[in-house]
Structure 1
Amino acid sequence: MKLNSLTVDLITNTQQTSVEWWSNIHPNPTSQTLFLTLKANILPEVITLYNANGQIVFSSPFTNQIDMSAMPAGVYWLKTLGKAGVQVQQVVKR
């Protein structure tokens, strides 16, 4: 079984809702720049990229691209957080 995406609900003082932010994350797998295309008019507040060890390798207010060229090959997790909720998406770097 291959896992393409993972949705995580945060446990906080306020309830978080799972949201699908992206209509397209491409190319995935990538070797250079990862491009993010939003669905509708939902705007995330923070985008964080984690490596397979759970370490933050990129964090920024909303951006529509992430330069992954200097990152080692492997599996990463893109976490998108905003008022509408949270989404976690698997990204593969070649």
Structure 2
Amino acid sequence: MIKDVIRLNWHARMSHEQIATALKISKGAVAKYVGLASAAGLEWEAVKDWTERQLTAALLPRASGAQPFVEPDGRACTASLTARA
């Protein structure tokens, strides 16, 4: 879906609202993906042959598994609350 958003925005020159309606997603999601791709310096010609997985890895490294989720350590929060009491 990310690739479709970028294609419709950059190649077809559709507005965020038009893309959101066509793909049945929110305008916020469209803005997010277009913004991420722009911030990453990507261009349609460079990504048009990429798979959805490649594009997701480039824009959302956590989703691709490149940066594993680290479970927060609740002890620091508990110690801070105890010290304040």
- TM normalised by structure 2 equals 0.23
Higher strand share: 1
- TM normalised by structure 1 equals 0.22
Rg bigger for which structure?
2
Higher helix share: 2
RCO higher in structure (CA 8 A, sep ≥6)? 1
